[in-house]
Structure 1
Amino acid sequence: MSTEPPETPETTENTEPGTQGAATEDAGAEAAGADGQEGADAAEGAAAETTAGDGDSASESSAAQLSEAEAELAAQRVERERIERRKAEKQGPVESGTKLSGKAADLLAAVRAVESGAKPVAAVFSEPAPPRRPAPEPVRPPQPVTAEAPLGPAPETVESVRRVLADGGAPEALAPQAAAALGEGAADQLRADPWQLLRVAGVRTEQADGFARALLGAECGPDDERRGRAVTVWLLEQAALAGHTALEMPALTAALAQRGVPDAGTAVQNTLAEGEALAFQDALDEPGAPASRGDEEAAEDEERPVRVLVGLERYALAEESLADGLARLINSAPKQDGSAEDWERAAAAAGSAADLIRAAATHGLVLHTGGQASQAEPAALLHTAHALGLRAWAATHSPVGRDRFSTLLDGPGVATVAGLLSGTEGPGRDADGAFDLDLLVLLDAPQLDVETAALLTESLPDGARLVLAGDPAVLWSAGPGRVFADLLAARVCPQIASRLPDPGPLGELVSGIGVGELNQVEAPGKELVIVPVRDAGEAVHRTVQLVADSVPRAIGVPAEETQVITPGHGGAVGTRALNAALKERLNPGPGRFGGFDPGDRVAYSPAPGRTVPGRVVKADAEGLHLSCAGEAVVVPKERVEQSMRHGWALTAHQAAGARWPAVVVVLPGDAAQTLNRPWIYTAFGRADRHLSVVHGVEQALPRAVAEAPAKPRTTRLAALLRPLLPPTA
């Protein structure tokens, strides 16, 4: 990496939309045994990217009036009902706030830090799921999308919960969230089991303990069975925020002991007996263990070690459904559109995409790895598929990624994952509810969490082809799971590695980071600039200077096309602090509408794990009007605090899957212990033309690149796939 002298206000920096802090981040990492930053990013990704989902109407006339957010929610709920074979829970975040002090204020602050996005999208609406409808045309609707507020609990339920909270010394403003989380009879549940307060996002165990002591008095104790069950479920939720779909039994019992549960084993057993969690036994492979199912039969009588896992039903069912769907694709012959000679002829003329085309011709599931430049190969596959008469589509996780990839194609054929699932984009669905397509290419596959991946695979028709394409070196999904990494490690289908390198000095820098090397690179056009800083105050000052002055003047990239990326939300150089400083410089104003003014850059969160950059256009009685990737979005005022943050500064998880002409990566001194190679690779790789690094971590940067790979996540996908695949020769 080139280290140009600390220059001038002509060095550049990028700012990104910020997100809320996450009180659950530290807890998630601690409970799961993951590093703090990965747990923080996972929680932040879910929290800052939460938005209203979509819902379809049962009638054609009312369906036309529904928002894209509602349609997405309805489609996801329908698919989850098929996957989980049970009705979605009734829960949803409800905004609240009041003036408090002392412990009540601390509890409310913790909840407000993570309230948006901490609960599953599927649980927002409580009425029966309406039927899905196919998209009438593969064109995004031109009218503004209204982000409808989720339906809240009944007023009388909220009021009864408010009285219980007051009796226990908890903030009464938490009543809507508690009522939504616990459903009908929430007040009685809280009186009978005060630790159910842990179901409210952001509440910690010590706060729930204080609430229980106030309600139960002498009956309250650390060995209470109700406490053991509630803390067990809470720890599994925190583990999910850190990316795990389950926890190994020793890790879970150790975390319970740290939380003051005297008999951790009994607490887990009680939780399992009540059906609040599920237990699994997965066989472990040992050196010299059978490599195929045929060999396993010969070794049937041999005792093999197993690991005992405990997980929440929601993620367990999603991972099992995903394994079933992937096995169906792997074991089925793809639909024959075009002769083998036609496919081979197209492959021979496709240059670097030849191997990918040949693999897709004969396999239902194919993995494709490579950087940004390698996206030309999936584009060539789509061209070939269209020429052979296949109904082929690509999907990306963000509108920014969709618009970038569409430039590689001659016509339509790219949708967002959310739009594809909801039916507002893409080919729509056939009479059986499956996608009306023959080939789906999913880009930025490392961002797939198990729930989204399960929804996609369950929606593919028999005989369809699925190509998962992405860069395996970037950060994993904000939600639980590591789908792409698990499939690469399992080697259950063809894997095509692109040989197309990302160009220029930035491509050379990022490629080196991917293999653990922080190289010095020549940057004659100021593609890379290092700005050393001594403290947090200087880091904020130089970041603002880069975005507002240096990059536009020296590089020619305006401030609105420069993104700032920083490791976290809190602290002196987190997204909140940077966004406040950047707003003051670039778009000062009183924040008349929920802290926002026309012209503000924002990070809008339409669903967990998803951030859409946008800009405030105006505010009126309908709500806050945004322009997001060319679309008009209206956010009602009661939804603003939950689903929006200022967007000049983002975290790397929020920025994954998008790129900007210029990026400013801020590495404050207090981030030294949280940096790892995937974070650095992802953050540095978001820049197209210019990268500025506000550098305050000294030797921690090369050390993290060389020595800090991704922290492991506990998942079950590989073990679930193994018995579903045919024996190997």
Structure 2
Amino acid sequence: MSTEPETTEDDTPGTPDPAEDTAEAGGGPRAGAAPEAEAGGTTGAAADGGETGADEGAASGGGGAAGTDEGAAGSDEDAAGTDEGAAGTDEDAAGTDEDAAGDGEGVSGAGAQAAGAGRGEAGAEGAGPLSEAEAELAAQRLERERIERRKAAKKGPIESGGKLSGRAADLLAAVRAVESGEKPVTGVFAEPGPAPRRPAPEPARRPRPDAAGPAAPAAPPPPSAQAVAAVRRVLADGGAPETLAPQVAAVLGEGAAERLRADPWHLLRVTGVRPEQADGFARALLGAGCGPDDERRLRAVTGWLLEQAALAGHTALEAPALTAALGRRGVPDPDAALRTAIEHGDVLVFQDTPNASDTPNVSGAPNAPAEAAGDGAQEAEGAERPVRVLVGLERYALAEESLADGLLRIVNSVPKQEGSTEGWERAAGAVRGSAAELIRAVAGHGLVLHTGGAASLAEPAALLHAAAGLGLRAWAAAHSPLGRDGFAALLRRDADAAAAGAADGAPVPHRPGAATVAGLLSGAEGPGRDADGTLDLDLLVVLDAPQLDVETAALLVESLPDGARLVLAGDPAVLWSVGAGRVFADLLQARVCPQVASRTPDPGPLGELVSGIGIGELAQVEAPGKEVVIVPVRDAGEAVHRTVQLVADSVPRAIGVPAEQTVVITPGHGGAAGTRALNAALKERLNPGPGRFGGFDPGDRVVHSPAPGRVLPGHVVTADAEGLHLSCSGTPVVVPRERVEQCVRHGWALTAHQAVGARWPAVVVVLPGDAVQALSRPWVYTAFSRAVRHLSVVHGVEQALPRAVAEVPARPRTTRLPLLLAQAPAAA
């Protein structure tokens, strides 16, 4: 039972269409060397004419290279194989491979969502030449009228089979029977109306122990040796790898061995274990006493599919997609399986009845007709309206509902006024362009969205300094330590420039601070919490906002005090979060607060190249300073060779960027040119050694992933009985020996998701021929935009690169946040 299958990164996993389901990126033709005369895409000079194979006047990034690949390998020999049993979204993959530096516990299948920001227009169009403000007011009036009509129509009970029909009506009846304490009638398949809004549990809040800042929350204690030994015996009896014992004991908690023996399918709760593996384990333990229709199996597989959907970014799945996936998983009666999960409270069911003309739909496509869950569109208020039945896990449902409530609390609250209106206006008048717009928007609103590329970070910095000058406690939070450090350096430069230009004796305003989102929430970084348990600040700017999943976003919003201002800032074209949800894109679509789009362009050839990718064009750019280099290769072996040559020799000599400031980005961990192969080759060249510390040596570049979605770059210091000692952005980290294999990887080469939130002076993007299916516009945009001074593209995908940029946008995620925001007034 393998628990570490990894695949080439697939950044487009998320539509509920089983036909598109693929757990690994298949092989594609690898490109031969592209001739200089063809210039269909990016163009640049060679980093080192004699060594890179991309001499001055290199081939185009999208040029039609000649030649085909004889027998291109699959994306990853370690992958568990293509699985057509997912709920339409790669849910059958056992995790996302790119979400963590060391998810050795068994990421099986690509799954992190490609980025983008679909902007659905919520509201009806007004007739006549209305101003933007008048149009917005008219749309709001129409929305309120529609909500009142719906509220009036819902005052009486809805009889099953009345306004609903087919599966939707049956599911509604069964859920109501369950809620009343009755068992659903045999053969009935249920579909409820909207579930009651329940706030998420209040986060644990700890008072600050001292003025120096709060300590990070203590980690849960590891399972005892006796508990692990007991679980190991059960695993051995069932023929499962005994190495899983610590994970099983940690996941199942007290009495893990007894619980596992009574219900072997609890093994599915361990990351990386798949249903067929759990089935074999159950047969070994239970013998003839178990079968495919065992109630324990039905519940476990249903929850597992929804967990895989969450790994692919969905907070819920449509009921037909889930039942279809259950059928492909060998469940004899998928409807009964879902009914069983509902009865036991394993899943929640929601009825989605959006008005396609004036509310955003939950799938992410603006104004697209939603799929009916039953026998077609259902009638509501005398008109045809789509009805969708969504099924989700409670943790994501509560997080999304709590997030919607918290966001609306901020939107509707009166921001704290430390400075006068004139003070805010003076601050806005001191800057230009979209920075002034951002300051004015924040002055009068609790929630503001800010969009833009890397150069636009100067605008949140100007906002933070303006707020600090007005007496507000202002902080920024970034996705990664490298992003935090880069923004902190920008804040310091601006503060030093302001202090140098101030008159002698003038008071120096409070300087805003920067932290990571994880550090801010844990209390390890940032201002700490006040006596009420809320964050001790007045203004929070969250950078890299597209990386917020619903659970993190909900906890962040709940932690803000009344009257605090929240600014979510980020580039909507990058990859979305590793976790479930697409918070930033959903908010942009819902249009519940002011949105300020930066007009500050990213400079130079790199900025021109990335801006074109963002709109679907792989443009040819002039690169007189060797800012962009294309290195054509024929196969994966040559790709690895050229990459090592670039990082170790060519880029340091021709560009002046040392190897330690260069990062390699490739689509996935597996394959002949994935992170594993590239890191092995780069280690041999840059820091050779025997790997005596679990494969690592002092000086190795690594990435540490303490939790899925969190990546801490660093290097190895030493190792001892405590574990592997790392230095991550200057912070000492000790990884226990038993966790090294799961959460530490070499870090010269990263996936695009691991690189989000950080930038490096030089970046080498490797595109081997077997990565064609992993490419999308958001992936390419994210990878190329990580470079500050120089970008080399090791190009082996022929025309797949320009085709991905032009034709492969972000695949939608199924979320409920836009609908919750739109329906919130009715709930109030």
Class of the TM-score when normalised by the shorter of the 2 chains: 0.7 to 0.9
Residue 390 of structure 1 aligns with which residue? 472
1:661 and 1:630 map into 2 onto residues whose CA distance is 19
Q: Is the 8 A contact 1:369 1:470 kept in 2?
A: yes
Deviation of 1:2 after TM superposition, in Å, equals 3.0
Q: Residues of 1 paired with 2:104 and 2:407: CA distance?
A: 27
Q: Which residue of 1 aligns with 2:200?
A: 84
Structure 1 position 526, deviation (Å): 0.6
2:51 pairs with 6, 9, 19, which one?
Answer: 9
Residues 489-526 of structure 1, C-alpha deviation per residue, up to 9 Å, x if partnerless?
Answer: 11110000000000000000000000000000000111
Asked if 1:306 corresponds to 2:398, the answer is no
Q: Residue in 2 aligned with 1:401?
A: 483
Which structure shows the bigger proportion of residues in helix conformation?
1
Partner of 1:94: none
User: Of 413, 422, 428, which aligns to 1:332?
Assistant: 413
- Tell me the residue number matched to 2:560: 460
> 1:331, 1:579 → 2: CA distance?
50
Q: 1:674 aligns with which of 741, 749, 774?
A: 774
Local SS of the residue matching 2:471:
coil
Alignment of 1:365-380 (within 5 A): 365-380=447-462
Which position in structure 1 is the counterpart of 2:626?
Answer: 526
> SS where residue 175 of structure 1 aligns?
helix
Residue 616 of structure 1 deviates from its aligned partner by 1.3
1:33 match: 88
Deviations 1:108-136 (A, max 9, x none): xxxxxxxxxxxxxxxxxxxxx6x513374
SS at match of 2:98: helix
Asked whether the equivalents of residues 561 and 661 of structure 1 are also in contact (C-alpha less than 8 Å), the reply is yes
1:219 aligns with 2:289: yes
| Alignment partner, residue 566 of structure 1 | 666
Structure 1 CA distance, aligned partners of 2:95 and 2:261?
34
Q: 2:99 aligns with which of 45, 62, 81?
A: 45
Equivalents in 2 of 1:29, 1:626: separation in Å?
40
Instruction: Report the equivalent of 1:343.
Output: 424
Instruction: Tell whether the 8 Å contact from 1:138 to 1:426 is kept in structure 2 after alignment.
Output: no
CA deviation after TM superposition for structure 1 residue 282, in Å: 2.1
RMSD after superposition: 2.9
Deviation track 1:395-439 (CA, whole Å, cap 9, x = no partner) reads: 111111111111222245111111211222211111110111111
SS at match of 1:48: coil
Aligned partners of 1:726 and 1:458: how far apart in 2?
22
CA contact 1:135–1:427 (8 Å) conserved in 2 = no
Q: 1:698 aligns with which of 798, 804, 817?
A: 798
CA gap 1:715/1:642 in 2 versus in 1, 3 angstroms: same
Of 498, 510, 513, the match for 1:413 = 513
Superposition pairs of residues 120-199 of structure 1, within 5 angstroms: 132-134=206-208, 136-137=210-211, 151-199=221-269
Greater radius of gyration (CA): 2
Contact map agreement 2:44 2:622 (CA 8 A) in 1: no
Distance 1:703 1:694, change over 3 A: same
Residue 279 of structure 2 corresponds to residue 279 of structure 1: no
* Alpha-carbon distance in 2 for matches of 1:568, 1:246: 26
CA contact (8 A) 2:521 2:556 kept: yes
Gap change, CA 1:158 and 1:635, over 3 Å in 2: closer
* Aligned partners of 1:28 and 1:239 also within 8 Å: no
CA distance in 1, matches of 2:678, 2:479: 26
SS of the counterpart of 1:45?
coil
Distance in 1 of aligned mates of 2:596 and 2:521: 26
**Measured at CA, do residues 686 and 441 of structure 1 come closer, stay the same or move farther in structure 2, by a change above 3 Å?**
same
Are the structure 2 counterparts of residues 637 and 160 from structure 1 closer, same or farther at C-alpha, using a change threshold of 3 Å? closer
- Partners of 2:84 and 2:778 lie apart in 1 by 17
Q: Secondary structure at the match of 2:793?
A: strand
Contact 2:313 2:581 in 1 (8 A): yes
2:90–2:309 CA contact under 8 A, matched in 1: no
- Paired with 2:331 and 2:206, the residues of 1 have a C-alpha distance of 45
Cα deviations by residue, 1:686-720 (Å, 9 ceiling, x for unpaired) = 00000001111100000000000011111111111
Aligned-pair CA distance for 1:309: 1.1
- Give the deviation of 1:157 after TM superposition: 2.9
Equivalent position of 1:508 in the other structure: 608
Aligned to 2:594: 494
Contact 2:723 2:734 in 1 (8 A): yes
CA distance in 2, matches of 1:317, 1:26: 33
Q: Displacement of 1:44 after TM fit?
A: 2.9
Of residues 728, 739, 755, the one that matches 1:628 is 728
Deviation, 1:622, is 3.8
Q: Cα distance, 1:263 vs. partner?
A: 1.0
Structure 2 counterpart of 1:650, one-letter code: L
CA distance in 1, matches of 2:419, 2:82: 53
Do the aligned partners of 2:91 and 2:311 also contact (CA within 8 Å) in 1?
no
* TM score, norm. by length of structure 2: 0.73
Q: CA deviation at 1:623?
A: 3.1
Q: Matches of residues 87-126 of structure 1 in structure 2 within 5 Å?
A: none
- CA contact under 8 A between 2:540 and 2:565: conserved in structure 1? yes
CA distance in 1, matches of 2:254, 2:42: 60
Q: Distance in 1 between matches of 2:659 and 2:360?
A: 58
Instruction: Find the residue that maps to 1:485 and give its secondary structure.
Output: helix
Which of 267, 270, 275 in structure 1 is aligned with 2:337? 267
* Contact 1:2/1:520 (<8 A) preserved: yes
Q: Distance in 2 between matches of 1:140 and 1:561?
A: 33
1:250 to 315, 320, 331: 320
Change (3 A) 1:584 1:566: same
Residue 399 of structure 1 aligns with an amino acid whose one-letter code is: P
Partner residue, 1:122: none
Distance 1:572 1:705, change over 3 A: same
Determine helix, strand or coil for the equivalent of 1:683: helix
The one-letter code matched in structure 2 to 1:475 is L
Counterpart of 2:762 in 1: which secondary structure? strand
**Would the aligned equivalents of 2:549 and 2:582 in 1 still touch at CA under 8 Å?**
yes
Pick which of 148-157 and 161-170 moved more.
148-157
Contact 1:399 1:612 in 2 (8 A): yes
1:195-224 Cα shifts (integer Å, max 9, x gaps): 222112111111111112222322332222
Instruction: Determine the structure 2 residue equivalent to 1:580.
Output: 680
Q: Residues 443, 510 of structure 1: CA spacing in aligned structure 2 closer, same or farther, 3 A cutoff?
A: same
1:648 corresponds, among 742, 748, 755, to 748
Shift of 1:620: 3.2
Q: Deviations over 1:279-305 (max 9, x none)?
A: 1112222236799xxxxxxx9676743
Name the amino acid aligned to 2:715: R
From the superposition, tell whether residues 4 and 303 of structure 1 become closer, same or farther in structure 2 (CA, over 3 Å): closer
Query: In the alignment, which residue of structure 1 is the partner of 2:712?
Result: 612
Does structure 1 conserve the Cα–Cα contact (< 8 Å) formed by 2:231 and 2:245? yes
State the distance in 2 between where 1:641 and 1:363 align. Answer: 47
Deviations 1:308-328 (A, max 9, x none): 111111111111111111010
Which residue number in structure 2 is paired with residue 540 of structure 1? Answer: 640
Q: Larger deviation: 280-289 or 647-656?
A: 280-289
Taking the aligned partners of 1:86 and 1:369, their CA distance within structure 2 comes to: 30
Residue-by-residue CA offset, 1:585-607 (whole Å, 9 max, x unaligned): 11010111121111100101233
**Separation (CA, whole Å) in 2 of partners of 1:343 and 1:461:** 21
Native 8 Å contact 2:94 2:308 kept in 1: no
- 2:758 pairs with 658, 670, 684, which one? 658
| Structure 1 residue 140: Cα displacement | 10
Q: Distance in 1 between matches of 2:699 and 2:346?
A: 46
One-letter amino acid matched to 1:226: R
Q: Cα 1:171–1:621, aligned 2, differ >3 Å: closer, same or farther?
A: closer
1:26–1:240 CA distance, 2 compared to 1 (3 A): farther
